[in-house]
Each structure stands twice: as structure tokens, then as C-alpha cells.
Amino acid sequence: MKHTYLGQSGLKVSRLCLGTMNFGVDTEEKEAFRIMDAALDAGINFFDTANIYGWGANAGRTEEIIGKWFKEGSGRRERTVLATKVYGDMHDTYDGPNREQGLSAYKIRRHLEGSLKRLQTDHIELYQMHHVDRRVNWSELWGAFETAQVQGKIGYVGSSNFAGWDIAVAQGEAKARGILGLVSEQHKYNLLCRLPELEVLPASQTLGLGVIPWSPLDGGLLAGNQRRNKGGGRRSGDEKRLAKHQDQLEAYAKLCDELGEPEDVVSLAWLLSNPAVTAPIIGVRTSEQFERSLRALEVELDEETLKRIDDIFPGPGGDAPTAYAW
């Protein structure tokens, strides 16, 4: 397994990150255990979750499954770089106005304690803000995160779904406080969603954040799932999006056939070829999907292939403002 540093930190993580969003929803506990065991055996040490996974009335269920897996197996926790998130409404924990979506020192403290309890651990390596909250002053947020770090409850702080300028503001405040700041940004980024190349990726590279792409297969569209099984999408908008991108996806399937590699594998390999990317999140639902994802680590895309992929899925044309100003 290949490993790399997580942004400007000294922490090494695997080039693939195991996403657990389906655990307790589409993936039952026993299968989730098998997937996590297989990940560790393959050298994947980077696991991503969130306090709201399990969703709705079952929010927190995914963290509970991971915590039970840690508890039942010797050495599992020590071999895992654990990442979770804070922002969403954990309505099952307490009532009142401060339970709603958003960030605050109060919420960070309470939700961190809840995650630690569900995960059956005393620390989290990477604690991520699941979304930006522009109402809140960064002095408040960094103060809360610093306290948690001093207490040994979190190692590093990351962001998710931040704009490039949000990252810049956060890092500016961190520099003024003399602290490391953000080490990662988790963002939607794939062949069908390349707008992050305008500002999020350049900001992350410049300011010391590793990029962790979520939805690398765009809900299965880049794996050929909906193309091969029309109407089988998980979301109501999938059929419309399939129709919109049909020509691109057909051309992409042909290219992958020529390469002798599955579409999902090439999609992950394309992300891994970008120096801004630390580790795409593989949100697998079955052990079979997991094993298939590992192939991406072995596929090297040459310049000609990358150019052909760009021709099929054009990016924004560079970073801002070059991409659109001249």
C-alpha cells in the first residue's frame, strides 16, 4: 500500500481512504466488519466517518459500528487513522436551539464527546468540519479546536465543503494564532465535477491542505452502474444526469475498454494522478466493491490517456482567473 503525508502534517495516511457512510444503512454490521478488516489487511489505515452517518433517527449508528469493531479486535484502533466530522444536527443527543446544523465552541465540545463515546476511543486523529459556517468567528472555532488538541482528544483539524476563500480565511487566522491550522479539505471532486480545480485545489496546495475527494465515482455514474442498468440509480436525479452525460459516459466506457480496465478503477486512478489529491474516499457497500477499488493503486495513466480523458471530461481550463478571464 502506498502512503503519503496528510497535507502539511507529519501524519502518514494510505492513498485510498475507506468511506463508511453506508455502514448501518446499505451495509449491515457483519459486512462492515469484513470490509474494515480487509482494508487494514490491504494496508489502508485511513478511515473516514461522520457523527451524522446512519442518518435521521439513526444518526451516530455508523460511528457505533466502527467503535464496536475497534472494541472486538485487538490492535485495530492502533492501526487506524480515524477521521470524523462535526456540523450536522444530532437530534438524538439533546434538544434545544444549539442542536441545529452549524458550528460553535459549545457544539464542537458536545459533539466531540459524543463521537468519542460512540467510537469507543479517547482520541480522533482528524476532526473535520463537515461544512463551513460563515456566521461564526474563526477565533471561537480555533479556540475550541486548540482546547481539544491540548486535551489530547484530537490530533489535527480538517475542513469539508469549504470554498477556496474559506480555506484562506481559516489559515490566515491560524497563522495569526501561531498554530498549524487545517491539514485537509474533503471536497466533491471527480471527472464530472471538476470545478474545484478553479480555486479549492490551488488554495489547498498553496496553504498546506491535502485534498480528500468524496464521491469520486459520482454516485456510480463513473462506474457505469446507471449506464448499464438504467433506472437503477440511488437518487431521483440520476436518470436525468445520466441522460445529460450519456455521450461522455459512452466515450469514457470505450476508452476504459481499450485500456482493459473498469471505469471505476480508471476514475480513481485519474484522481490519484493529481498531486493535489491525498486520498480519494472509497465509499464501498460490499467486500467485492472494496477489492475492486484496490486495483486503482496499480494503474498508471500516461500523458496520452490523461489527455484523452480531458477531452471527454473537460475541466474548467486551469485555476482562477486564468480559466475564464483570458
Set 5, 53, 94, 127: catalytic member: 53
Cβ atoms 217, 249 nearer than 8 A: no
The C-alpha cell at 251 is: 466515450
Look up residue 142 and give its amino acid.
Answer: W
Taking the C-alpha atoms of residue 219 and residue 225, their distance in angstroms, rounded to an integer, is 9
Cβ atoms 19, 214 nearer than 8 A: yes
Q: Would residue 5 show up in a list of annotated catalytic residues for this protein?
A: no
Burial class of 302 by CB neighbour count within 10 A (0 to 12, 13 to 18, 19+): exposed
Best CA proximity match to 182, nearest among 150, 208, 152, 149: 208
| Phi/psi of residue 194, nearest 5 degrees | -110, 5
User: What is the SS3 assignment for 103?
Assistant: coil
Taking the C-alpha atoms of residue 310 and residue 41, their distance in angstroms, rounded to an integer, is 34
Burial call 43-80: b when 16+ CB within 10 Å, e when fewer: ebbbbbbbbbbbeeeebbbbbbbbbbbbeeeeebbeeb
Best CA proximity match to 82, nearest among 28, 120, 111: 120
Which residues are tagged catalytic? 53
